[in-house]
Amino acid sequence: MTKTVREDLRVKKTLSSIDKSFRELVLEREYEQITVSEICKRAVINKKTFYAHFHCLDDLLRHTLEDIAKGYIARIARFSLPEDLLNIHREFFLYSIEQGEFYEKLVCSRAYQHIARTLLGKLVKTAWQDSPWFNSLDAETQNMLLCFLHSAGADMYRQWIADGKGMPLEDAIAISGTLLCKGVDGIAKTRS
């Protein structure tokens, strides 16, 4: 095995250890209570190693969320908007559930809202950027539509989580999807 391959494996192992330690800490406490020192202690690395990969804790959080987002973007790549909005919304719920408790805390906890809101906004914009219908709208209408989709979709998911997932998943998807689609249909009919 060449030195380059060995180093790459070491880097992957280090990043995996940082990620695992960070995820554990997120589940145990609020973001303001997590320190780089604690992550390093759990990951069995020194701070210099951490800072070789991340500038700060926010950078690690942003990187983690971007990795999660990549999976979702790949999953919805086959859909077209606005025609497949309900399917995309369904995939958002299903993908979110598959990410587990760590993701739930990031999306639902107030401590992470600033970064989660930014990420979810980027996800919505990325999903819509190739839609000819969306691109035919003026910039202000696009912004309002993106704001609605991001806020409504994420907030309905958060509410379902806050309600303890008492409603069956399929019902939550159907109700929130109908609300989301009817709102977008209203814009589509007035802007066509």
Condensed to tens digits (0 to 9), the pLDDT of residues 118-146 reads 777 777 777 788 888 888 888 898 888 88
Confidence (pLDDT) at 2: 39
DSSP 145-164: HHHHHHHHHHHHHHHHHHTT
CB of 35 within 8 A of CB of 58?
A: no
Q: Would you place residue 190 in the very low, low, confident or very high pLDDT band (cuts 50, 70, 90)?
A: low
Confidence of residue 1 (pLDDT cuts 50, 70, 90): very low
Of 92, 102, 87, 98, give the one whose Cα is nearest residue 72: 92
Q: Report the range of poorest mean pLDDT among 10-14, 53-57, 69-73, 120-124.
A: 120-124
For range 8-35, the mean pLDDT: 92
Contact between 55 and 69 (Cβ < 8 Å): no
For residue 65, what pLDDT is reported? 83
Cα gap 100→83, rounded to integer Å: 29
The chain-wide mean pLDDT, for the chain, equals: 85
According to the model, what pLDDT value does residue 7 have? 62
Of 49-63, 92-106, 174-188, minimum mean pLDDT range: 174-188
Q: What is the pLDDT of residue 19?
A: 95
Query: What is the average pLDDT across 157-167?
Result: 92
Whether 5 has a pLDDT exceeding 70, the answer reads: no
Residue 113 pLDDT more than 60? yes
